[in-house]
Amino acid sequence: MTSATLRHHGAAGRHAEGRGLGMVVFAGALVALIGFFNLLDGIAAIANSHIFIGNAHYVVGDLRLWGWVMTVFGAVQLLAALGVWAGNQLARWFAVAVVGLNAIGQMFFIPAYPFWSLLIIALDIVALWGLCAYGSRENIGMA
């Protein structure tokens, strides 16, 4: 066997090149899904929809303020998902930041819609894991 047929896996057992590409694409899909749901939640909150818990007390602001925050997060997350799918490393880090901030923002949105907010936080954690664990340059470059 010649050295051209051997694959070098890097130091300390790093992942083989291209391994985890599916997880990065899945994480991008989760970011897009979360962004879409945040966009819908934000629009519903701005319109004072009756799907939210009435007379809820918020740490900061009111339902309309958090509706605007969720609308902006949703639009930005959709852009970040497009960047992840395009294979841009900077967009991946931007998506990590936006999804992390969204998880924190959802904690403030819990009084309006508790179970839904907890579900979105769980999806944020899975998306963060996929983007951080499998988003190496080798995997992103192969997208």
Which pLDDT score, from 0 to 100, does residue 6 have?
A: 46
Domain assignment present for 74: yes
Q: How many residues does the chain have?
A: 143
In a domain, 69, yes or no: yes
Give the DSSP per-residue string, 10-29: -GGGPPPTTTTHHHHHHHHH
Residue-level pLDDT at 5? 46
Q: Is residue 2 part of a domain?
A: no
Q: How far apart are CA 41 and CA 57, in angstroms?
A: 18
State how far the Cα of 22 lies from the Cα of 109, in Å rounded to an integer.
Answer: 31
pLDDT tens digits, one per residue of 37-94: 999 988 888 887 776 666 666 666 677 887 888 899 899 999 999 999 998 889 999 9
Q: 1 lies in a domain? A: no
8 lies in some domain: no
Question: pLDDT for 131-141, tens place per residue?
Answer: 998 766 555 55
How many domains does the chain fold into?
Answer: 1
Mean pLDDT to the nearest integer, 86-112 = 89
For 128, the domain range is 18-141
Instruction: With CA atoms as reference, report the closest residue to 105 among 120, 95, 94, 89.
Output: 120
What tokens appear for 79 in the block? 């852009």
- Whether residue 117 is contained in a domain is answered as yes
What do you get for the CA distance between the two ends of the chain, in Å? 30
- Better-scored residue on pLDDT, 119 or 41: 119
In a domain, 40, yes or no: yes
Instruction: Classify residue 3: in a domain, yes or no.
Output: no
Mean pLDDT, residues 112-125: 90
